[in-house]
Amino acid sequence: MDVFWRAPPVARTLTAATLIQSLLYHGRLITGRYITFVPRKIFFHLPPQIWRLATCFFLTGPDLEFIFDLWNLWRYSSALESESGRFSKPGDFFIYILFVGTVIQATAGLYLGYSTFLHDTEFRQSALILGLVWTFAQDKRGTRVRFFVIDIPVIYLPAAMLCITMVRGGWPAMLLEGTGILGAHLYDFITRLYPAFGGGRNFIFTPRFVQRFFYKHTPNAGYRGYGTAYHAPQPSEPSPSSQGQASGSDAGERWGSWGSGRRLG
């Protein structure tokens, strides 16, 4: 349990929700009619069943795919939200998930007419996971990863996974899975590429109330649920290295005040 609570908050919550709902679904304790993405139930039903906007992502495949989907979801979401990942600032990964999920629902849900987006029960694809993999590949560009039994550049990992999906499910499965990559690419374009190379403005930002919700440490150092965060000292505060240099110079001044040394023997 310590590993779970030390993990980033959004990654562990997303994985735990997927685990619980998938167990209930594959154990036949709940049916898909209450958790899938059905636009008329969300936008034209009274009261609106808004929970479907989230539950349509919390479903894995059966058998071994249950393990693989959970592992991939945990692996890539934790890597992106960790302190060394792309979304190390509190709340940024939450906004990323909201944006990518909205794009998937607009394209795969409203336009293509599908109802689940983590793992489709017909084509056995993972639109959300492919979005995470695409962002992970961009973040780790220049490294290599193990894909089955071979090592490939990480930048080719999404394409390799798409090829496997096309072999297993055909073009419809590949198209459905590609909506996750589309959402991740749009986020990267709006937040990084367009502001950096096009001189435009980043229109996607993390609201203050979201930052406050995830931000749970003191101004200089503190404990998070997934590690300890440190901030650079203020200009008025001496850094540890400067303190060490100062102490060394003081020692040199005291040594010089003792007079010239004499070698014994």
The pLDDT assigned to 20 comes to 95
pLDDT at 189: 95
Residue 101 above 90 pLDDT?
yes
Q: Is 83 helix (H, G, I), strand (E, B) or coil?
A: coil
Q: Which of the four pLDDT bands, split at 50, 70 and 90, describes residue 84? A: confident
Q: Tokens for 255?
A: 């040594």
Helices (H), 119-193: 127-139, 157-188
Q: Which whole number is the average pLDDT over 153-173?
A: 89
pLDDT at 125: 56
- The residues, any chain, with a CB within 8 Å of residue 265's CB and separated by 6 or more, are none
pLDDT in tens, 108-117: 889 988 887 7
Q: What is the DSSP letter of 57?
A: T
**Would you call 228 helix, strand, or coil by DSSP?**
strand
User: What residue has token string 């979401």?
Assistant: 77
- More reliable by pLDDT, 142 or 247: 142
Task: Give the pLDDT mean for 169-186.
Answer: 90
Could you report the per-residue pLDDT of 34-51, keeping only the tens digit for each?
A: 888 999 999 988 899 999
pLDDT computed for residue 227 by the predictor: 47
d(CA 81, CA 226): 10
Say what the pLDDT of residue 149 is. 86
CA pair distance 54, 66, nearest whole angstrom: 19
pLDDT at 248 over 80: no
Of 58-72, 126-140, 214-228, minimum mean pLDDT range:
214-228
Q: Please report, for the chain, the start and end positions of each structural domain, with discontinuous segments joined by +.
A: 2-209
What confidence category does residue 118 fall into, taking pLDDT thresholds of 50, 70 and 90?
A: low
Question: Cβ atoms within 10 A of the Cβ of 105, count?
Answer: 23
CA dihedral 195, 94, 98, 117 (to 10 degrees): 120
Lowest mean pLDDT among 117-121, 126-130, 189-193: 117-121
The architecture that CATH gives domain 2-209 is Up-down Bundle (1.20)
3-state secondary structure of 162: helix
Element (H, E) at 230: strand 227-230
Mean pLDDT over 181-209 rounds to 91
